[in-house]
Structure 1
């Protein structure tokens, strides 16, 4: 019995939802008309702008130019930082070489002095 009521309810919902309704007129005759041209322009028709021209317009815009300048500044800063790091690394390696050379010289000078005392 409960199933019969459920089937009847579902059937009535389907009938109501599937019944034909008159669509509302989206563009009534007395509506205001646009005072400008709303015709779509095909990419191959007269008056269409090509992709290259649009690209040139975007590239010449002030915002694009500013972003290019900023990118160049960032690259220059990165180069300067890299150069400074390289200079510091070179200085460190030179200092280490000097230290090792001095240590070698000290060891070499100590070894003959030790040999001289043994031979006496």
Structure 2
């Protein structure tokens, strides 16, 4: 009886393990597809990028970044200089206004003093 149960158990395990299973769909229709080429290329195939070209791209990229930084620095320097010039111009115009006001006061004082003398 033990041998019979063992045989039935072994036969059922064998049938379960060897039964035909439906393969899982690795590429379902509704899955997103890559919009770019995913084929690997070795260094000697068509379309591969050489080491020199990659180095030039990196250098040009660094040069581009450096030029952007330099342009930003020069622009900031120009803004600073422009602000200083505006401050100086404002100070000069304020001084000129003060001088003009003082001259007007002197002229008014000079005009009013002879008039007061003549009326006395």
TM-score (norm 1): 0.51
Corresponding residue of 1:68: 68
Matches of 1:108 and 1:59 in 2, distance apart? 73
SS at structure 1 position matched to 2:92? helix
Matches of 2:59 and 2:89 in 1, distance apart? 41
Q: What does 1:4-83 correspond to in 2, within 5 Å?
A: 47=47, 61-83=61-83
Deviation at 1:48, TM superposition (A): 8.2
Matches of 2:48 and 2:98 in 1, distance apart? 72
Matches of 2:82 and 2:88 in 1, distance apart? 10
RMSD of aligned Cα (Å) = 2.9
Which runs of 5 or more residues in structure 2 are unaligned?
1-42, 50-56
Corresponding residue of 1:94: 94
1:108 aligns with 2:118: no
Matches of 1:68 and 1:106 in 2, distance apart? 57
Which runs of 5 or more residues in structure 1 are unaligned?
1-35, 42-46, 50-56
Corresponding residue of 1:118: 118
Matches of 2:82 and 2:65 in 1, distance apart? 26
CA offset digits 1:1-58 (Å, max 9, x no partner):
xxxxxxxxxxxxxxxxxxxxxxxxxxxxxxxxxxx95x9x6xxxxx489xxxxxxx67
Paired residues, number: 72
* Greater Rg over alpha carbons, structure: 2
